[in-house]
């Protein structure tokens, strides 16, 4: 009798759950405020549609051009989410002074950072601390003893590899190499302490390996934030050796968090010295707020989160651009020949290091076009950036969107718009060597650093790193990638940042002249 009652109870619970789910799907498809917007029915019925594409497939973002072509400029891609395709809609959402607040899914490493702040006012106040630190003038001041020191160390490792095997060269993992360069650069710039990743033989840094593995979990935390938080708590409680061996993606970010925590605690233990001749870290600036600007020092937790953010943002995105540039330059002999001709003319002595400001002069027009095109096709953060429609609602493409709706747009669609960029997936630096009006229009659509109040704060640091690295790398070395890297290796999945299927590797030899 008891087992029958138990069975009936289970059956009742299951039938109740099924009924609830069916009714919820019916509501979402036919009675929800967004039910009149076009889009895949499965996406309107359940958020698992997006999760499947983002976690188990290359990413929903890669499907969006096809969906917009089928359904129109504004489509429903989740039960309470719309995606806007056109640049006008993007600018409406992300413009300076936007009323569209950020939607943030709790992340144990970045919550409290600049990236996680939901309102414009919060973001503005935090940026007031950080913007001077990332200004062009600040970057130029530290370049001689930061950028060039790290780059020289990177190039010296390549030189050792080039001289191996009797000068025949050896194969380098540039996927790791570029990340060691960018990780040590951003760490030293923000913390005045680096990972020593460039010290590792052939760039085989376990810390960098573990850190980059963490991006595979980035979108899991977006789709399943509560589950991700619980799993993180469990993983955090395990011994370090177990975390390192079996949970590398989480362990990598924990290592970064630990480094940020140690540095912040060290700075907090020593009051800032306004008379010090040393270049201040970004934390020194946070610890000396300006009362006239109504600035308040962030909490210790938030400063640690900002440290994690700067390392994450400054390592992988810039390294992705460098990897993409290397692949396309070495895969296109005419592009490599034009670049090398310009570099030899402007840099007759291959071993002399130039400042990034020199590389922005008239003698390096093609170099800048190559970097610009690599930035366009590297996308920065390609996927959907979520914002909340303000309470009064908003109008997109002539259609009213109710307040509280999640509205998204993304960089990938703008950077590959065929109307602005003919043959958009082709790497073509020549498209930037055009008349001023055409250049201006293309630059308006190229959103790799995003736009508006939340545009990338590290744009000046990124450009300096890219110009310096591409120029000196190709002036000093011949690199062959075709026998060691494939098109499949370079194709990418959206894991918050583009994560390639494989790794770009190449045979390195020194140039003779």
Tokens 């009675």 sit on residue = 31
180 annotated as belonging to a binding site for a ligand: no
Query: Largest Cα–Cα distance of the chain, in whole Å?
Result: 93
How far apart (Å, rounded) are the C-alpha atoms in residues 367 and 20?
Answer: 59
Cα(192)–Cα(327) distance, integer angstroms: 32
- Indicate the pairing of strand 505-510 with strand 477-480: antiparallel
Kindly state the tokens that stand for 255: 């290592």
DSSP-assigned letters across all residues of 54-78: IIISS-GGGTHHHHHHHH-SEEEEE
Contact 417, 486 (CB under 8 A): no
Distance CA 174, CA 168 (A): 18
Helix (H, G, I), strand (E, B) or coil at 136: helix
* DSSP SS3 for 503: coil
The DSSP secondary-structure symbol of 214 reads G
Which residue is associated with the tokens 């490599």?
336
In sequence order, what are the residues at sequence separation of 6 or more whose Cβ sits closer than 8 angstroms to the Cβ of residue 362? Answer: none
Tokens in use for 32? 């929800």
Query: Are 333 and 481 within 8 A, CB to CB?
Result: no
- Residue 68 forms beta bridges with which residues? none
CA distances to 273, 340, 367, 473, 482 from 337, rounded to whole Å, are: 51, 5, 12, 14, 16
SS3 428: coil
Type and span of the H or E element at 107: none
Cβ–Cβ under 8 Å, residues 169 and 506: no
CB atoms within 10 A of CB 353: 18
Closest among 328, 380, 387, 331 to 123, alpha carbons compared: 387
Query: Are residues 268 and 300 in contact, defined by beta-carbon separation less than 8 angstroms?
Result: yes
Query: What whole-number distance in Å separates Cα of residue 500 and Cα of residue 28?
Result: 35
> Are the C-beta atoms of 133 and 192 separated by less than 8 Å?
no
Q: Are 260 and 112 in contact (CB under 8 A)?
A: no
> Could you give the CA distance from residue 178 to residue 318 in angstroms, rounded to a whole number?
8
- Binding-site residue set: 456
- Binding-site residue set for heme: 456
């Amino acid at each position: 009798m008891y087992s029958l009652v138990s069975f009936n109870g289970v059956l009742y619970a299951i039938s109740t759950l099924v009924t609830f789910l069916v009714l919820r799907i019916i509501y979402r498809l036919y009675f929800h405020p967004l039910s009149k917007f076009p889009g895949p029915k499965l996406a309107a019925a359940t958020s698992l549609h997006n999760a499947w594409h983002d976690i188990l497939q290359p990413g929903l973002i890669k499907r969006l051009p096809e969906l917009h072509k089928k359904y129109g400029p504004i489509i429903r891609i989740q039960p309470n989410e719309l995606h806007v395709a056109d640049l006008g809609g993007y600018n409406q959402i992300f413009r300076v002074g936007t009323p569209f607040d950020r939607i943030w899914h709790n992340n144990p490493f970045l919550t409290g950072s600049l990236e996680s702040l939901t309102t414009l006012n919060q973001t503005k106040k935090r940026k007031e601390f950080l913007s001077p630190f990332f200004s062009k003038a600040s970057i130029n001041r530290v370049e001689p003893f930061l950028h060039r020191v790290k780059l020289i160390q990177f190039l010296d490792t390549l030189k050792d590899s080039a001289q191996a095997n009797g000068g025949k060269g050896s194969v380098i993992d540039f996927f790791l190499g570029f990340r060691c360069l960018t990780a040590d650069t951003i760490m030293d710039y923000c913390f005045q302490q680096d990972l020593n990743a460039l010290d590792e033989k052939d760039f085989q840094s376990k810390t960098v390996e573990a850190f980059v593995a963490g991006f595979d979990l980035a979108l899991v935390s977006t789709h399943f934030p509560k589950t991700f938080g619980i799993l993180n708590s469990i993983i955090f409680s395990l011994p370090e050796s177990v975390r390192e061996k079996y949970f590398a993606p989480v362990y990598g970010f924990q290592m970064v968090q630990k480094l940020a925590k140690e540095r912040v605690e060290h700075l907090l233990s020593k009051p800032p010295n306004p008379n010090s001749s040393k270049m201040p870290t970004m934390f020194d600036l946070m610890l000396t707020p300006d009362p006239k600007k109504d600035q308040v020092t962030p909490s210790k937790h938030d400063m640690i989160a900002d440290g994690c953010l700067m390392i994450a943002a400054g390592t992988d995105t810039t390294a992705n651009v460098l990897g993409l540039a290397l692949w396309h330059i070495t895969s296109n002999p005419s592009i490599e020949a034009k670049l090398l001709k310009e570099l030899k003319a402007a840099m007759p002595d291959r071993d002399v290091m130039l400042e990034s400001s020199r590389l922005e002069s008239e003698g390096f027009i093609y170099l800048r076009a190559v970097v610009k095109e690599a930035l366009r096709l590297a996308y920065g953060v390609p996927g959907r950036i979520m914002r909340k429609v303000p309470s009064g609602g908003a109008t997109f493409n002539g259609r009213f969107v109710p307040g509280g709706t999640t509205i998204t747009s993304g960089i990938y669609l703008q950077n590959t718009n065929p109307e602005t960029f003919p043959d958009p997936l082709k790497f073509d630096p020549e498209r930037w060597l055009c008349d001023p009006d055409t250049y201006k229009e293309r630059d308006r659509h190229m959103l790799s650093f995003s736009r508006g109040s939340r545009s990338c704060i590290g744009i000046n640091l990124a450009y300096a790193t890219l110009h310096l690295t591409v120029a000196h790398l190709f002036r000093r070395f011949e690199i062959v990638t075709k026998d060691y890297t494939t098109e499949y290796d370079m194709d990418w999945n959206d894991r918050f940042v583009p994560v390639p299927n494989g790794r770009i590797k190449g045979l390195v030899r020194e140039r003779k002249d």
